Amino acid sequence: MRTAKDFHIFDVHHHAGQVLGFASTATHTDAKPTTMEDDIATRVSFMEKHGIDQAMIMPGSGASNLGPANDYVAKYRAADPAHFPAAVGSVNPLDGAAAVAELNRCIDVLGMNGMVWHHRFCGMVINHPTMIPLLDRIKHYKVPAFVHIIADSMLESPWRLQKLADAYPDTTFVALDGFSSPNHVAWMFYIAEKTPNIVFDTGVMMSLHHQLDEFVEQAGADRLLLGTDAYAEPHFHTAFPINELLASHISDENLRKVFSGNLKRLLKLA
Ligand SMILES: [Zn+2]
């Protein structure tokens, strides 16, 4: 049977830094402060255990004034670029002009590889009008937009992302957590068919009937990215999406795309 060691695995979905508003879980809002060095050591240990060679780092917060969070992930990338060759920034759209300025700083000054949003942590819908000036800048910079569509948030309902993707056809949107419910799984097939500029990660994927084999067959291997949705101390014990993909009927050639090829191409790292 194939193992993770047979592939280069570049995980698109790792959060780093303070996690504000994480579903009010005491575990994380009360998590003891840790240094970046400790965080990296814990994360790399997890990655090595599960055969993850590299990861893209993103902030974990939806607070206002995300400048410090963006500085943190940029420093994180710089501290260990072999494991973390890419980082994306985030801004709270409700910050208005300050959010646009911070997005510009993320790309121009910090050299971020794209931007990410988790709108439920911002307390707003994905397709709120304040996203328009931000996506205008994303279009200008020609970088991808990573957007969470987790199943238990109606603020992040997938049709809202689809509307943005339709309005910005030249921008690639990465739908994070798209396979997170039975309803979402079926929905992703439809969105993939109708909206070519959305690709999908495997974060928070269903433990059964996730239909990844069928998704790759129908939508194409170019549309799926491996994402574990990890933190330095992950909320799980095995890298489930990796195990499922390895055990699937997806060919080695297609798995190479899903595990790293698609993300390298998207981030222009290939
Ligand atoms: Zn996430």
Beta bridge partners of 56: 86
CA distance 169 to 178: 19
- For residue 231, report the distance from its CA to the centre of ligand 1, in Å: 9
Measured CA distances, 48 to 6, 40, 44, 77, 83 (Å)? 13, 12, 6, 17, 10
Closest C-alpha to 87, from 11, 151, 29: 11
Residue 43 alpha carbon to ligand 1 centre in Å: 15
**Mean pLDDT, residues 17-46 taken together:** 71
pLDDT of residue 18: 75
Ligand 1 centre distance from Cα of residue 203 (Å) = 7
pLDDT at 260 over 50: yes
Please report which confidence band the pLDDT of residue 233 belongs to, taking 50, 70 and 90 as the band edges: confident
Alpha carbons 130 and 116: distance in angstroms, whole number: 15
13 alpha carbon to ligand 1 midpoint, in Å? 6
Q: Tell me, in angstroms, the distance from the centre of ligand 1 to residue 72's CA.
A: 16
Instruction: Indicate whether 22 pLDDT > 80.
Output: no
Cα torsion angle, 27, 28, 29, 30, sign:
positive
Rounded-to-integer distance, Cα 114 and Cα 24, Å = 28
* C-alpha distances out from residue 268 to 47, 144, 146, 172, 263, Å: 23, 11, 15, 13, 8
Supply the DSSP string of 99-117, one letter for each residue.
HHHHHHHHHHTS--S-EEE
Instruction: Say how many Å lie between the CA of residue 115 and the centre of ligand 1.
Output: 12
Tens of pLDDT, residues 209-220: 999 999 999 999
Question: pLDDT tens digits for 146-168?
Answer: 999 999 999 999 999 999 999 99
pLDDT of residue 20: 57
At residue 111, the pLDDT reads 98
Least confident of 29-38, 53-62, 65-74, 179-188: 29-38
Q: Name all domains of the chain by residue range, CATH numbers in brackets.
A: 4-266 (3.20.20.140)
Q: How many helices (H) and strands (E) does the chain have?
A: 12, 8
Q: How far is the CA of 249 from the centre of ligand 1 (A)?
A: 27
> Which has the closest alpha carbon to 200: 10, 251, 220?
220
Average pLDDT rounded to a whole number, residues 114-134 = 97
Task: Report how far ligand 1's centroid is from the alpha carbon of 104 (Å).
Answer: 22
Q: What is the pLDDT of residue 24?
A: 41
What span, in angstroms and rounded, lies between the C-alpha atoms of 265 and 262? Answer: 5
- Residues around ion ligand 1, judged by CB within 5 A, are 229
**What is the 125 CA–ligand 1 centroid distance (Å)?**
16
Alpha carbon distance 5, 34 (integer Å): 30
User: Is the pLDDT assigned to residue 25 strictly greater than 60?
Assistant: no
State pTM to two decimals.
Answer: 0.95
Taking the centre of ligand 1 as the mean of its atom positions, its distance from the CA of residue 175, in whole angstroms, is 10
b/e per residue, 58-92, with b = 16+ CB within 10 A?
bbbbbbeebbebbbbbbebbeebeebbbbbbbbbb
Contact 192, 163 (CB under 8 A): no
CA distances from 183 to 178, 190, 219, 251 (A): 10, 11, 17, 26
214 CA from centroid of ligand 1 (Å): 24
The C-alpha atoms of residue 210 and residue 225 are separated, in whole angstroms, by 14
Q: How far does the centroid of ligand 1 lie from the alpha carbon of residue 270, in Å?
A: 24
**pLDDT (mean) for 124-146:** 98
Half-sphere exposure of 143 (CA within 13 A, CB side): 24
**What is the CA(15)–ligand 1 centre distance, in A?**
6
Whether residue 30 has pLDDT greater than 70? no
Average pLDDT, the chain: 94
**Cα(79)–Cα(67) distance, rounded to whole angstroms?**
18
